[in-house]
C-alpha cells in the first residue's frame, strides 16, 4: 500500500516526457494524414472536434506541455497549414 502511495512522487517527472513523446507521434500522424488528403479538411475537423468537446483552443503553454498528451489545436493547425 505504501508503494502505491509514494509512486506518484517518483513518477511525477516522467509525465512531461511521456506527454512529449505522445505529442510528437500526434504531429507525425497529422503529417501523414495531410499527405493523404487535403489539410484544410483536417483543420476544419480539428476545430469542430475541439468545439464539440468544449476544449479550449489556446490552453496555457506550460500546463499543456506538462499534462496534455495531444498538442493544442493552434499548434496542430499551424503545422497542418504549413505542411499543405
Domain spans of the chain, in order of start: 19-83
Q: Which residues of the chain have pLDDT under 70?
A: 84
| Helix or strand run (H / E) with residue 58 | none
| Predicted pLDDT of residue 65 | 84
Query: What pTM, to 2 d.p., does this model score?
Result: 0.78
| Predicted pLDDT of residue 25 | 96
| Predicted pLDDT of residue 73 | 87
Compute CA distances 61 → 34, 55, 72, 74, 80, whole Å.
25, 14, 9, 11, 19
Contacts of 80 (CB under 8 A, 6+ apart): 30, 34, 39, 42, 43, 46
Amino acid at each position: 500500500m505504501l508503494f502505491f502511495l509514494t509512486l506518484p512522487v517518483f513518477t511525477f517527472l516522467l509525465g512531461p516526457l511521456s506527454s512529449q513523446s505522445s505529442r510528437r507521434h500526434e504531429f507525425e500522424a497529422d503529417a501523414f494524414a495531410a499527405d493523404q488528403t487535403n489539410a484544410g479538411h483536417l483543420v476544419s475537423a480539428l476545430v469542430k472536434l475541439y468545439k464539440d468537446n468544449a476544449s479550449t483552443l489556446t490552453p496555457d503553454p506550460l500546463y499543456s506541455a506538462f499534462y496534455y498528451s495531444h498538442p493544442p489545436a493552434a499548434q496542430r493547425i499551424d503545422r497542418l497549414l504549413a505542411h499543405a
